[in-house]
Structure 1
Amino acid sequence: MSAPEISPFPLVELHAVSNAHNEWVALTFALSPDAGDAFQATLALLKTPDVFAALAPMDCILPVPNPQLLELSHLETLPSNRVILRVPAAACADVAVQRKLSSYADAGYHIMIDGVTEGSTATMCGARSLMTDAAMSLPPVLALVAQPGPHLAMGMRSEERIAECAKAGFSWFAGDFALHPAQDGNAGDGTSRKRLLALLGLLARDADSRELEVLLKQDPALAYHLLKLVNSAAFALSSPIHSFGQAINVLGRRQLQRWLQLLLYARQQDDGLANPLLPLAAVRASMMEGLAKALDWDRDQQDMAFVAGVFSLLDVLLAMPMTEIVAALSLDLDVVMALLDRAGPLGDLLKLVEHHDSASLEQAGISHEAYWEAQLQAYHWAIQVSRNI
């Protein structure tokens, strides 16, 4: 596939796709506008060693803006059972494109149409799925029932909208709905919030294990998730762990702090669904740590970067102003500045994790490749966290 000249290493942003249970099922690759041909740029990223293993078992939705230039040789190194080719609806009107895509579908590659096509065009392309921005309006019913799916609704800003789209025939969803939860769950309960803040305070000041154990016993949900975690395949222990004291000893102080910070997000919502903030917090924490490492920060600074990342969503989780949360905790000043004002070195790093572009990365002294490596590792870890908690 011919393409304009692109940067040596393209800049990409991964976006999670969830099912109706808030479980991650796929990842979309969003390339920066200056990446040249988006598919060729994605191929460069997929040459990262063990990239599909790192993102397993997620499907990878790859942009193919110019399907007329796509050749089977470009796909030979990609696992057909894990790759979904996203092609724009407008390009599918070309009969030659329809034949080409249909032949690739016959070879086992999954075709997803980005937008709504006319008539039987999607079927002629061998497409199984449709993706569309469903934030405000839904596509015609026939556009969804004509293909088996799964169909992807983009632009989801609330779980209520996800429910509406699910009724319409969508089963995959993407958007920032995790950042806009309904404010009637457990986080709004004053007793629960007080207990969580107390636990966070103990973690922040590296409290004695016995103090942690007392609070854990007061929070059955958190205690359950901790014991479930240490008995999971992630730790592969020869004998099961039955007590909090054993769990604390197995994990070690540093790992205990990290896992408990994430476990705060693991509590179920009133509807029984997984909390979508959990993997998002894991991504932020891991990316912050990875970028700090790329900048040659020392171990303590890397740990603070992790804390800033994982705590950056506490205001959403607890439905409280971040100023009140920070006031209740004994945090390092650099972490406080980052959480309240996105200021200081940690604040600058947190802004890069929340939104990045080539200019901001260059100013921070972080290469595109280093950013991709940190992002890849962060999503790998978030996937593992979600599967083990």
Structure 2
Amino acid sequence: MFASDSSPFPLVGLKPVSNTQNQWVALAFQPVTGAAPSALLSLLSDADAQVLASLDCIIPLTDPLQLELSHLDGLATGRIVLSIPAAACDDEAALKRCAALSDAGCRLLVEGEAGIHASRAGVRGLNVDCGAALPSALAMLTFPGPHLARNAAAAARVEECRKAGFTWFSGAPAEPSADEPGDDGTSRKRLLALLGLLARDADSRELEALLKQDPALSYHLLKLVNSAAFAPASPIHNFGQAINVLGRRQLQRWLQLLLYARREVDGPPNALLPLAALRAAQMEALSKLQGGDRDAQDMAFLVGVFSLLDVLLAMPMTEIVAALNLDLDVVRALVERAGPLGAMLRLVEQHEPDAGALSEVGIDNETYWRSLLQAYQWALQVSRNV
């Protein structure tokens, strides 16, 4: 299947929205081809989209008059958040339509600052690009929230937004601090060592010996195998059993993701974890859709999950891959975004994919959407179990 500009299926990306605890609470729809709001809402009625049922869906609504109440029929309106431009609040007809949509159960955000009259339309919060400036305190207090801050990239900027009253955040996660308390880097070094042992098919006793050296890693692994995802008949307390329950292939994948796990047992989850899981799962799904065998799918998964290691470890990717025994195609994808795996990685890194990127990978708009849903389903499961 190949991407086509004439495809009636809207080309839509999804951007995760997190709360102050780095947990995903919503998804912002990113239409690429100017799809009508009704077309975006129709995606939510798809049975496959039920995997997103635990998250709110933020739909851009440039012109409120484009959306009829009938477009909401059969949808869970309590999950729908409509984002309107501030200029729409200056039009009386648009305000009335917004009020009707609010009465139907939808929540509304306004992009930028709007006057008190916007509250008559049911607007509950602000949707602001905080990369340049923050809104006034009066604007924040006018609406009950939640307020969404976009593009607050630096950790200091995120903190400013939190103090200003923002509780939702969208954009690239702030880079972790290397000197954060409780992290001396040894856990991740052991994880990389474990991955090296798995790559050379080392004996289980070697794996157990290394696992026993790291209490935090031990905790995460035993928590995983005793979770509802595996539902063991009786609690698992030793690493030999854990390895047998998971199997080496699954153990390798979870160790890759544990690189991104929270640094402290009771600390907030790492914002990079669900994003790495998302990329890995979508890479695997795309490889499978292209007819890739199990080894090809594993390689695609590895590229996706390792694609954020340079951010996580604050190291050049060249140094990271030099320490691992990786296939040349994986190295080229991670370092240069080159080759078929590199093209696939460039696609999954985009929250607003373009038709050219889809064509290069060899899929159409609908296939991209299906792979995205599969990826979010797995990423949500991972973020709750790791």
TM-score range, shorter chain: over 0.9
Residues 213-254 of structure 1 show CA distances to partners (whole Å, capped at 9, x for unaligned) of 111111211111111111112222221111111111111111
Match of 2:267 in 1: 272
1: CA distance between counterparts of 2:185 and 2:70? 59
Residues 276-301 of structure 1 show CA distances to partners (whole Å, capped at 9, x for unaligned) of 11001101100110111111111110
1:292 is the counterpart of 2:287? yes
1: CA distance between counterparts of 2:66 and 2:336? 46
Aligned partners of 1:20 and 1:162 also within 8 Å:
no
1:117 to 106, 114, 118: 114
Change in CA separation of 1:81 and 1:166 when aligned onto 2, cut-off 3 Å: same
2: CA distance between counterparts of 1:151 and 1:200? 41
1:312 to 283, 288, 307: 307
Aligned partners of 2:125 and 2:148 also within 8 Å:
yes
Q: Which runs of 5+ in 1 are unaligned?
A: none
2: CA distance between counterparts of 1:27 and 1:362? 25
Q: Which amino acid aligns with 1:154?
A: R
Match of 1:35 in 2: 34
Change in CA separation of 1:336 and 1:186 when aligned onto 2, cut-off 3 Å: farther
2: CA distance between counterparts of 1:161 and 1:380? 30
Q: How does 1:1-389 map to 2 (within 5 A)?
A: 7-32=7-32, 34-37=33-36, 39-51=37-49, 53-118=50-115, 120-178=116-174, 180-185=175-180, 189=184, 191-268=186-263, 272-355=267-350, 356-389=353-386
Aligned partners of 2:45 and 2:75 also within 8 Å:
no
1: CA distance between counterparts of 2:284 and 2:9? 21
1: CA distance between counterparts of 2:24 and 2:208? 31
Structure 2 residue matching 1:77: 3-state secondary structure: coil
Residues 62-82 of structure 1 show CA distances to partners (whole Å, capped at 9, x for unaligned) of 111110122110112220221
Residues 98-127 of structure 1 show CA distances to partners (whole Å, capped at 9, x for unaligned) of 122112222322111122112x12211111
Task: Quote how far apart the aligned CAs of 1:87 are.
Answer: 1.4
Q: Which amino acid aligns with 1:19?
A: N
1: CA distance between counterparts of 2:307 and 2:362? 23
Aligned partners of 1:27 and 1:61 also within 8 Å:
yes
Q: Which amino acid aligns with 2:166?
A: F
2: CA distance between counterparts of 1:110 and 1:260? 39
Task: Quote how far apart the aligned CAs of 1:270 are.
Answer: 11
1: CA distance between counterparts of 2:128 and 2:189? 41
2: CA distance between counterparts of 1:41 and 1:211? 54
1: CA distance between counterparts of 2:114 and 2:226? 49
Aligned residues: 380
Aligned partners of 1:101 and 1:125 also within 8 Å:
yes
Change in CA separation of 1:189 and 1:319 when aligned onto 2, cut-off 3 Å: farther
2: CA distance between counterparts of 1:187 and 1:9? 48
Aligned partners of 1:187 and 1:319 also within 8 Å:
no
Residues 180-203 of structure 1 show CA distances to partners (whole Å, capped at 9, x for unaligned) of 222323797354453233123123
Give the 4+ runs in structure 1 shifted more than 3 A: 185-194
1: CA distance between counterparts of 2:256 and 2:204? 15
Task: Quote how far apart the aligned CAs of 1:380 are.
Answer: 1.2
Residues 253-286 of structure 1 show CA distances to partners (whole Å, capped at 9, x for unaligned) of 1111111111121132699321111001101100
Cα RMSD over matched residues? Answer: 2.0
TM superposition score normalised by structure 1: 0.92
- Highest RCO, 1 vs 2 (Cα 8 Å, sep ≥ 6): 2
Q: Which runs of 5+ in 2 are unaligned?
A: none
Structure 2 residue matching 1:296: 3-state secondary structure: coil
Residues 343-363 of structure 1 show CA distances to partners (whole Å, capped at 9, x for unaligned) of 222112111111331012113
Change in CA separation of 1:190 and 1:174 when aligned onto 2, cut-off 3 Å: closer
Q: Which amino acid aligns with 1:63?
A: P
Aligned partners of 1:282 and 1:385 also within 8 Å:
yes
Residues 14-66 of structure 1 show CA distances to partners (whole Å, capped at 9, x for unaligned) of 1111111111111100110x2342x1331343243231x21131111111111
